[in-house]
Amino acid sequence: MPSHGVVAVNEFGESIDAHIPGELPLTIRVDGMEVVTLMTLGTEPEALTLGYIRNQKLIEDIELIKSVQVDWDRELVDVVTHEGLGISDWQEKMKRRIITSGCGQGTIFSCTVDKLYEVTLSTPSIKQSELYALIKNVGQLNDVYRVSGAVHGCGLCTATESLMHIEDVGRHNAADAIAGKMWLQGLSGDGKIFYTTGRLTSEIVMKTAFMGIPTLLSRSGVTQMGLELAQEIGMTMIARAKGRHFMIYNGRENMQFDAIPPERRSPPPTKGMKDLAS
């Protein structure tokens, strides 16, 4: 179950029924070699595993993977490749790791950063009116959060609707699970929007770029390095998105402001004295 019933005490000293999200360790192995242990809600273990491998650039072709087998009794997920040789240059990659600002302190491999600048993103065209519709729609999808809190949600979206939405105890897990599902289904990120309830850090920018998605949308804020990376690779970044409010941190030229209320529209320029005399 993604959430569990507990008893808590409120500010009046009264016992109340409450819910908290589950959190389970899941160790990923590739051809028997341990890669990482993730703490997860556990709702999408196969997609999470594939997305982690994809976004960390540990295996870049899904056709190389023979099977993904989850064993919750042992808290393991075994990835088996057709060659059975594990991850190429694994020892070298392990030496070059970066500790990130991810929930629970994340890790990325420096080879992941190196490949970021090989990504080419399309230029989106976003309508303000459609963005308002999307913000409203994705805000209704965080089922576990509404019941128990303490989780993040991520989604792959069109201009106005969510195509898939996943919640987990960390936004990076949810992002990886989205990436895994896209990989399995052969879905392109071109023209899509990636939504997250969490802050837009450098790592989220990188994962979104590797999914080929040109636009990031968040109800939370932006970090400096996240913004700098978005500017360098041409990713549109929209944050603080709640209700009818948002802030564009990068890619203002890609937004069509078609829903500005009349009272907030800029007045037409007034003629100067020289124009009036002519």
pLDDT higher at 94 or 131 = 131
The answer on pLDDT for 105 being more than 60 is no
**pLDDT at 109 (0 to 100):** 58
Q: Which pLDDT tens digit goes with each residue over 21-41?
A: 888 999 999 999 998 899 999
Please check whether residues 208 and 87 belong to one and the same domain.
no
- Whether 241 has a pLDDT exceeding 90, the answer reads yes
Q: Contact at 8 Å (CB) between 124 and 214?
A: yes
Per the domain annotation, does 79 fall within a domain? yes
Domain count, the chain: 2
- In angstroms, the Cα distances linking 2 to 22, 55, 146, 182 are 5, 24, 12, 22
How confident is the model over 70-93, as pLDDT tens digits? 999 999 999 999 999 888 777 666
**Tell me, what's the pLDDT at 80?**
97
* Pair 99, 140 in one domain: no
For residue 207, the enclosing domain spans 126-261
The residues that bridge with 36 in the sheet, in sequence order, are 28
Q: Is pLDDT above 80 for 100?
A: no
Flag whether 271 is in a domain: no
Same domain, 56 and 179: no
Q: What is the pLDDT of residues 119-164, one digit of tens each?
A: 999 999 999 999 999 999 998 887 777 777 778 899 999 999 999 9
Give the per-residue pLDDT at 264: 83
- pLDDT of residue 17 exceeding 50, the answer is yes
**pLDDT tens-digit series, residues 55-76:** 988 898 999 999 999 999 999 9
- For residues 208-214, average pLDDT: 96
Looking at 98, 116, 134, the residue that finishes a domain is: 116
209-222 as b/e, with b when 16 or more CB fall inside 10 Å?
A: bbbbbbbbbbbbeb
pLDDT attached to residue 272: 54
Shared-domain flag, residues 156 and 96 = no
Q: What is the CATH number of the domain that holds 72?
A: 3.10.20.10
Q: Which residues pair with 167 in a beta bridge?
A: 153
Same structural domain for residues 138 and 230? yes
Mean pLDDT value across residues 235-264: 93
Mean predicted confidence (pLDDT) in 212-238: 95
Residues 165 and 224 grouped into a single domain:
yes
Q: Give the chain as a 3 state SS string.
A: CCEEEEEEECCCCCEEEEEEECCEEEEEEECCEEEEEEEECCCCHHHHHHHHHHHCCCCCCHHHEEEEEEECCCCEEEEEECCCCCCCCHHHHHHCEEECCCCCCCEEEHHHHHHHCCCCCCCCCEEHHHHHHHHHHHCCCCHHHHHHCCCEEEEEECCCCEEEEEEECCHHHHHHHHHHHHHHHCCCCCCCEEEECCCECHHHHHHHHHCCCCEEEECCCECHHHHHHHHHHCCEEEEEEECCEEEEEECHHHEECCCCCHHHCCCCCCCCHHHHHC
What is the distance between the alpha carbons of residues 244 and 132, in angstroms, rounded to a whole number?
6
Is the domain of 99 the same as that of 151?
A: no
Q: Is 225 inside a domain boundary?
A: yes
Confidence of residue 112 (pLDDT cuts 50, 70, 90): low
CATH number reported for the structural domain that contains residue 161 in this entry: 3.40.140.10
**Residues 170-205: pLDDT tens digits?**
888 999 999 999 999 999 999 999 999 999 998 899
